[in-house]
Structure 1
């Protein structure tokens, strides 16, 4: 197993030397949706004359045209030429690769130690086997001569049996651990192959020429944009209905595979899109022309099999199209404290803010479609932050409810959150009567009457506001009529598609009933579609 990594280790040994190399560290990073702006600093003590300073071991994904140099200090310096070039290294410098290499070495050392233990156990087992082979003859002679007794013989045999079993147990344990080591090394090897593509040995370096007019200290700053970095907004929403509040935790999910570690940096998450450029696009002429006509097949008009409208549990209307919100040119989130973002470590959640906001909680029941009551919350974004579109995990208190997605929510705008089923409120819908009216022999019409009853009960210890939705059928054929509509209590609103809404405030333990009745009249012998 050790041999399989000889080639892999071949390019993980030895380093590269640079002339005029200066020490530097990453001080701040601004992460965009698909790249990052990195600032490196180096503090120098300069003497009068010309000095060439080289920032080494920079990521290969550095965009050369983005390089900027500036400086300040007690020294008087004129910045001259700046040179950016690729450097092919004799070793992989990615910190994650180095970390994985060290893990492999530890696993190799452990496996070698286990192999040595197996060799010792095998020698002991062979020794015990040799005793068992010569024991029968030797024991018979000793018993015959009276030099050993049965008790001593029994103890000897028990010792051999226990030692043999112990050796087998330890051997099985060692083999199991070696199999686990094999699996771990396979996984590390795969990750190493992903982190070390053909350009893994390529880095960049930036050399700047300084003309020092007056000696002194100088703070040199290099900034550059690199790829292989991004961030996405994610959220955790925790609802507290009893307190009528909602806690929203706003995170940035940051990841980078640049090959350099950002340790102890000032981090900014930005909504700017530097990849789009700063110049507005120009329109091209929009020309129209004709093409030879073709005979088009007439579309077949299709009639819905179901007369009942689809009900949106949250808004009860067709949602508007997505909108792009703009607040100035961009929004930047300066993160509090110094952060560590390591190359290749996967996504890291960085807290932007955590806000506790007053919320209005209400319930929605659509008993025709679901036997459950759903809890909704509406909250105003009273913070200074723009909540960007992103995934969210939803909790009621400490209980996980599910996953969802929110759109862009600017300050002073409202956010609606669906919080799932609340078992503390019960709803049931029953068909209590279905009656087909008998008509005369010569009548050309048939009638079917329906009566439904909806029953609700609030088992919670506080008043709740609830919206209940149901519907009456809507005829799409002049030969079908909806008659004798009887609804109690009166609905709060009605849509043209027949959807009804009742809004109640229910006290603790209170019960409510809704009765809904109607008659469908249609031509004899022609059963209408959508009837139920």
Structure 2
């Protein structure tokens, strides 16, 4: 019995959809063809050579009751360019010889100029040595000396200028020769080019038009969120916030006119449980003295919160708030396989903004303009860099964390050049000889000057330490603190200052740290 004849076909199946993950991409190719009944071997050319074999899958989509995929595989081939078919190497070698000869000519000219410079310098030294002898014999003629020495000095300057010009020309020529040598070595070596194509064995029971989809995963492709915020300042300040997906790919296949889907899934994390290790417990005698230390603690994140917000964890790469999300690009895109970044628009929204000027002099002696707005999009804002545009002027870049939909967040828009800030801090230590308690009095003065012609409302924030021990007490002296202000639960003291144009203001904060005798580290 003779085996059935296998028909062959090269199928046009371009890339239609690419799902980008944190460190890889899933590619889908779609092809449509009229196939007669029988066995077929279908090939798809020019696919990514780096695709993962175990992720390769082929299936019929739509009405395919009379068709089946028996097998699908990838074939790779390495092409080696052995000969210089274009003659480029010979042209480069000819150019190299010409520049090398020119370099030697410049070297000879420079040696001659240096020899002349040395000879004229010797003549000048001897002429200067004769001047005291002439003066001793009473032959003092400054005009004659000037007329004799001035041409020599001029000649020295001219030769020195020629030497420097020759030196710079040689340096530039040497760099050009080095670039030529690099190009010659690159063009002369045999280049290895990898190509790959897909091959699928199909079984068709009845003649008809069939649609075939190929899916596979490729490395060397990734994406990260990139944002742009544009601030319009006026009677009603407004923020236009845009989110793009920045794509890099060097897979060996170009993506032309494809639908891009951006996913935050982390396939590389795996599902293996962590390794367990022994945790040894030791018993030691309790120390009679208590050592304290001052530490900083982050109180707020980028987002300013909503009515309800679930806790998130910080993960490397794309921060999605702990939930896998997918965002589809607004339009079809082209992403060549060159490793360069390409920004693809994802979504944008507009939100009313609240503008205020804030000052945290302990961190920076500058008044910063801050905007507070709400994420009006149906998607969350993923953590990433933000380009800041005020009106139509680019002013810098900042970063944001994960911002859920309908959550408020803040952006900084640079410093106010019309505000001058000075901060001084002093400390006084005392010890009660009767109770042996230690007292540290900290005094902070903040001076503000408005040198502009507009009034300013400044939100000033200072902080005092927050004690976690009963034997360490912290008290703010209201009599010596402006507005008799008391800190909040996190130790922040907030003032709202009205500073007219061309005026000054002063804020004082005084607090005490009182520690028991057995406290160390204050």
The TM-score range, normalised by the shorter chain, is: 0.5 to 0.7
Q: Displacement, 1:67?
A: 0.7
> Which range moved further: 369-378 or 236-245?
236-245
Retained in 1: the 8 A contact 2:84–2:188? Answer: no
Partner of 2:403: 409
Q: Structure 1 residues 462 and 173 mapped into 2: Cα distance closer, same or farther (>3 Å)?
A: closer
Is 1:351 paired with 2:345? yes
Q: Structure 1 residues 245 and 188 mapped into 2: Cα distance closer, same or farther (>3 Å)?
A: farther
Determine the C-alpha separation between the residues in 2 that align with 1:41 and 1:448.
74
**Structure 2 counterpart of 1:423, from 417, 424, 429:** 417
Partner of 2:224: 232
Structure 1 stretches lacking a partner, 5+ long: 1-17, 93-97, 126-166
Deviations 1:174-214 (A, max 9, x none): 66533223345678999x99xx6xxx747352313141523
TM-score w.r.t. length of structure 1:
0.63
Partner of 2:462: 470
Is 1:23 paired with 2:28? no
Partner of 2:244: 251
**Structure 1 counterpart of 2:262, from 266, 269, 273:** 269
Determine the C-alpha separation between the residues in 2 that align with 1:326 and 1:272.
9
- SS for the counterpart of 1:181 is helix
Q: Displacement, 1:495?
A: 3.0
Q: Displacement, 1:502?
A: 1.1
Retained in 2: the 8 A contact 1:270–1:332? Answer: yes
Determine the C-alpha separation between the residues in 1 that align with 2:455 and 2:83.
62
Deviations 1:52-99 (A, max 9, x none): 2222443342343441322458xx87222332334241417xxxxx9x
Partner of 1:40: 29
Partner of 1:367: 361
Q: Displacement, 1:382?
A: 0.6
- SS for the counterpart of 1:232 is strand
Is 1:67 paired with 2:57? yes
Determine the C-alpha separation between the residues in 1 that align with 2:36 and 2:50.
32
Partner of 1:55: 44
Deviations 1:8-29 (A, max 9, x none): xxxxxxxxxx964333321221
Structure 2 stretches lacking a partner, 5+ long: 1-6, 107-165
Is 1:111 paired with 2:110? no
Is 1:211 paired with 2:204? yes
Matches within 5 A, 1:88-487: 88-91=76-79, 108=89, 110-115=91-96, 117=98, 176-183=175-182, 201=194, 203=196, 205-211=198-204, 213-215=206-208, 217-240=209-232, 244-273=237-266, 294-296=282-284, 303-304=291-292, 310=296, 322-323=312-313, 330-368=324-362, 370-394=364-388, 396=390, 398-404=393-399, 406-430=400-424, 453-459=445-451, 464-471=456-463, 485-487=478-480
Retained in 2: the 8 A contact 1:118–1:171? Answer: no
- SS for the counterpart of 1:260 is coil
Determine the C-alpha separation between the residues in 2 that align with 1:187 and 1:469.
60
Q: Displacement, 1:326?
A: 7.4
Retained in 2: the 8 A contact 1:430–1:452? Answer: yes
Q: Structure 1 residues 107 and 415 mapped into 2: Cα distance closer, same or farther (>3 Å)?
A: farther
Q: CA RMSD in A?
A: 5.5
Retained in 2: the 8 A contact 1:49–1:211? Answer: yes
Q: Structure 1 residues 301 and 169 mapped into 2: Cα distance closer, same or farther (>3 Å)?
A: closer
Retained in 1: the 8 A contact 2:231–2:240? Answer: yes
> Which range moved further: 368-377 or 255-264?
368-377
- SS for the counterpart of 1:114 is helix
The count of aligned residue pairs is: 443
Q: Structure 1 residues 210 and 301 mapped into 2: Cα distance closer, same or farther (>3 Å)?
A: farther
- SS for the counterpart of 1:258 is coil
Determine the C-alpha separation between the residues in 1 that align with 2:435 and 2:300.
45
Retained in 1: the 8 A contact 2:225–2:382? Answer: yes
Deviations 1:257-299 (A, max 9, x none): 322111222222123445679xxx8999xx99x9997544757
Is 1:79 paired with 2:79? no
Partner of 1:513: 506
Determine the C-alpha separation between the residues in 2 that align with 1:314 and 1:414.
12
Q: Structure 1 residues 205 and 472 mapped into 2: Cα distance closer, same or farther (>3 Å)?
A: closer
- SS for the counterpart of 1:82 is strand
Retained in 2: the 8 A contact 1:32–1:270? Answer: yes
